[in-house]
Structure 1
């Protein structure tokens, strides 16, 4: 079963890619211009160079040109590093629980046949936070015209322990739908600025991880807040539509809208019972939150508005009810 997204999904993809590209290019250009300005200023102070105001501006513009090929290399490296982080600490499903692991693998194989995709490998994280997302291997091509390699579906122990077998299969179907719709490659690119922002600023987070300290951090760090917010806007424009499309496709594959609906409700209820942060220390929690089947950061982690990466639960449940009634 090959899924083709509606026109709206395509428009969202273009908008998301455009916002992300502008964010990345602007960030790279600002950094490059700043570095070039410092070098030119030092050279002028030492005497060998003299610039008029116009000449100085032209020198900055020309000095920023070499950033483009370097920029492409950095982006490719960032995507591979992103994949490494998403797979860190995971093991094949069968190594966690022989019987349960084989059940997950059998479900993934059956669903892959229905969706006409390569059978994904199922890997498990030890986190107690419920997680389910898809990613590629670090060695896979960053940009591929055809899907040649087997992708990876990652679930956590917390997810397996929280959901029933029917709900687990519905979640796996949701992730397979993302693969069938070719979401994985675009999402990898859209995650780059968010991942970069986390990588640059997570070192400044307080060990106590309190909400007050985090708010103070962003008040003192407008650059980090701006980069993260723009990243979430670009990702969310596409991600909110892709989640609804994957929900519908999962129901078509399993024929059981109730299983996915109950899984989403169960995960939402568990999220609301937790603090803002996950119960397990997740590295790059915001980017993991963005690609998980449900937000992982608790009620406060879903920022709402343009920065929301997931549709509201009520919207997803209403869509599932409409599919069931059709």
Structure 2
């Protein structure tokens, strides 16, 4: 059964949230135990008290009071840092090319009306990698019941140079669909374990984290939780983009051309390749560099193309 209908997408979101919350709770418990151990071991070493089960439970409770608010602040900081990273190096489109900016802004305004959302600010990334993703700003609320803040849609020079005008419109429609479907809030939370793993190992260019049980587990859980949610949302965004543009063939050709431009090792900053790949319209890594199965962050390209062909039929 493919969980790509409205009910299936809700099931995916719940499963992804459960996996990610589980990972965060385990991390919080680990931090709490370390704080509790410090609170009781240090006085023992100084000869101020003796170990008892009751004192350890009190230390555990004190550790929770001290560590959990800090843990919540760290999560909020991580989400804001994640958003800041996704907007790093980007500039307003009109700061580079007035003609490109005019076309992008006109398309964005039209799509905003079609999807019934506040028109996101379109920004240009200087990378030659074909990039297209959506994020909120670092100062926007981390948790919001209603949609708040103005999202940003980022496209790269590489994407603008690779695709035709109609193909760019199809890709932008895909990104606007994510905004219209309220995917951004949950995606930000699902990215926390992945971004945390990248932050801890950001100087590990040889990916030695794969031999570290903690690093491997954190990355694996992050990919599974994010993948369960994002694979269904990508297919839903493709369908919504086709409804907006009325041309499934254009989005299909855009995905195929972008897939041809993927590289095994992108020339851009490698420290956060996976998190950027997770939110991109197409994985920035080729199939050898992107995990498959439950850890895949996007549906296989052929599955997406097959869906578009079925719509066109």
Q: Aligning the two structures, in what range does the TM-score lie when normalised by the shorter sequence?
A: over 0.9
Question: Is 1:308–2:299 an aligned residue pair?
Answer: no
How many Å separate the matches in 2 of 1:153 and 1:322?
28
Which residue of 1 is the match for residue 177 of structure 2? 177
> How do residues 105-120 of structure 1 correspond to structure 2 at under 5 angstroms?
105-120=105-120
Q: 2:312 aligns with which of 307, 318, 324?
A: 324
Q: 1:259 aligns with which of 250, 254, 272?
A: 250
Q: 2:231 aligns with which of 240, 248, 257?
A: 240
Query: Which secondary structure state, in structure 2, belongs to the residue aligned with residue 114 of structure 1?
Result: helix
Tell me the number of residue pairs that the alignment of Structure 1 and Structure 2 aligns: 309
How many Å separate the matches in 1 of 2:157 and 2:312?
30
Which residue of 1 is the match for residue 269 of structure 2? 281
How many Å separate the matches in 2 of 1:282 and 1:131?
14
Which residue of 1 is the match for residue 203 of structure 2? 203
Question: Does the 8 Å CA contact 1:123/1:153 hold for their aligned counterparts?
Answer: yes
How many Å separate the matches in 2 of 1:46 and 1:243?
57
> How do residues 30-45 of structure 1 correspond to structure 2 at under 5 angstroms?
30-45=30-45
How many Å separate the matches in 2 of 1:257 and 1:234?
29
How many Å separate the matches in 1 of 2:177 and 2:153?
11
How many Å separate the matches in 2 of 1:204 and 1:96?
34
CA shift, 1:319, in A, is 0.8
Question: Does the 8 Å CA contact 1:130/1:159 hold for their aligned counterparts?
Answer: yes
CA shift, 1:57, in A, is 4.8
Question: Does the 8 Å CA contact 1:118/1:149 hold for their aligned counterparts?
Answer: no
Which residue of 2 is the match for residue 6 of structure 1? 6
Question: Does the 8 Å CA contact 1:33/1:63 hold for their aligned counterparts?
Answer: no
Which residue of 2 is the match for residue 71 of structure 1? 71
How many Å separate the matches in 2 of 1:267 and 1:60?
55
> How do residues 33-112 of structure 1 correspond to structure 2 at under 5 angstroms?
33-52=33-52, 54-55=53-54, 57-59=56-58, 61-66=60-65, 67-112=67-112
Gaps of 5+ in 2: none
Post-superposition Cα deviations, 1:194-229, rounded to whole Å, max 9, x if no partner, equal 111101111222xxxxxxx43xx1343221111011
**Deviation larger for 59-68 or 120-129:** 59-68
When normalised by structure 2's length, the TM-score is: 0.94
Relative to structure 1, the CA distance from residue 177 to residue 219 in structure 2 (aligned partners, 3 Å threshold; closer, same or farther) is closer
Gaps of 5+ in 1: 206-212
Which residue of 1 is the match for residue 281 of structure 2? 293
Post-superposition Cα deviations, 1:12-70, rounded to whole Å, max 9, x if no partner, equal 11111111111112112212312321342222122111123x33652453234223322
Post-superposition Cα deviations, 1:72-93, rounded to whole Å, max 9, x if no partner, equal 2221121111111111110011
Query: Which secondary structure state, in structure 2, belongs to the residue aligned with residue 123 of structure 1?
Result: strand
Which residue of 1 is the match for residue 222 of structure 2? 231
How many Å separate the matches in 2 of 1:235 and 1:60?
35
How many Å separate the matches in 1 of 2:283 and 2:159?
13
The structure 1 segments of at least 4 consecutive aligned residues displaced by more than 4 Å after TM superposition are none
Post-superposition Cα deviations, 1:275-305, rounded to whole Å, max 9, x if no partner, equal x221222541110010000001222232001
Which residue of 2 is the match for residue 210 of structure 1? none
Query: Which secondary structure state, in structure 1, belongs to the residue aligned with residue 133 of structure 2?
Result: strand
Which residue of 2 is the match for residue 164 of structure 1? 164
Query: Which secondary structure state, in structure 2, belongs to the residue aligned with residue 138 of structure 1?
Result: coil
CA shift, 1:143, in A, is 1.6
Relative to structure 1, the CA distance from residue 191 to residue 46 in structure 2 (aligned partners, 3 Å threshold; closer, same or farther) is same
When normalised by structure 1's length, the TM-score is: 0.90
Question: Does the 8 Å CA contact 2:39/2:59 hold for their aligned counterparts?
Answer: no
How many Å separate the matches in 2 of 1:263 and 1:64?
52
Which residue of 2 is the match for residue 131 of structure 1? 131
